[in-house]
């Protein structure tokens, strides 16, 4: 029965060639020496600057290893230009809601897959800025993951 083996081989090769590429990110500068996540994927962006049109959504996925037990986690994001730092609105207030492979509380050493979204409203206008995205351990009042990526907001693609 050669047909099923051929179909399986074609499906395997096709599915292996479909992969999401990590986005190149750098360490944050606003909060000190905070580790980078193991992997960051900003949808439709491999190499910053990441370009998004006004009235779109920036989908962010990241993988990290929990540094300690984490009960309450809050995502935060800022946009930084040469002379201005602003807090950016995220779609979720509790980062535990964005964890897709497990649930809170997280244990030390646990591998975590996390997703979040940032809406690009018309309030942004056309602008270039550095996005700094943090995860905050509420109980310790300390950031434990952070990345930075250059962004560009445009009228349309």
- 108: which DSSP letter? T
Burial of 98 (0-12, 13-18, 19+ CB in 10 A): buried
pLDDT at 4: 46
Ordered domains of the chain (ranges, CATH): 2-154 (2.60.40.770)
Q: Count CA within 13 A, CB hemisphere, residue 42.
A: 23
* Structural tokens at position 115: 């997703």
What is the structure's pLDDT at 121? 87
DSSP string, 22-35: PPP-B--SSSSS-P
Main-chain phi, psi angles of 106, to 5 degrees: -95, 145
pLDDT digits (tens, 9 = 90+) for 100-114: 999 999 999 999 999
3-state SS, residue 6: helix
What confidence score (pLDDT) does residue 20 get? 61
| Tokens 């646990």 sit on residue | 110
User: For residues 54 and 90, what is the distance between their CA atoms, to the nearest angstrom?
Assistant: 15
Binned average pLDDT, 10 residues per bin, the chain of 157 residues: 43 41 94 92 98 96 98 97 90 96 98 96 89 97 97 88
Q: Quick one: pLDDT at residue 2?
A: 52
pLDDT of residue 122: 85
For the chain, the C-alpha Rg in angstroms (whole number) is 18
Closest C-alpha among 15, 18, 22 to residue 60: 22
pTM for the structure as a whole: 0.83
Q: What is the DSSP string of 29-78?
A: SSSSS-PPPSEEEETTBSSSSEEEETTEEEEEEEEEE-SS-BS-EEEEEE
């Amino acid at each position: 029965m050669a047909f099923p083996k051929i179909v399986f081989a074609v499906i395997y090769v096709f599915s292996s060639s479909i992969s999401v590429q990590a986005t190149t990110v750098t360490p944050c500068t606003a909060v000190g020496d905070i580790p980078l996540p193991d992997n960051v994927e900003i949808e439709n962006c491999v190499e910053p600057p990441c370009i998004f049109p006004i009235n779109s959504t920036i989908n962010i996925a990241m993988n990290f290893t929990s540094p300690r037990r984490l009960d309450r986690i809050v995502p935060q994001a800022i946009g930084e230009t040469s002379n201005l730092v602003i807090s950016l609105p995220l779609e979720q207030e509790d980062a535990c809601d964005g964890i897709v492979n497990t649930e809170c509380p997280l244990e030390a050493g646990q591998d975590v897959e996390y997703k979040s979204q940032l809406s690009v409203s018309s309030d942004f206008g056309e602008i270039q800025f550095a996005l700094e995205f943090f995860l905050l351990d509420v109980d310790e009042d300390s950031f434990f993951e952070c990345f930075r990526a250059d962004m560009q907001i445009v009228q349309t693609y």
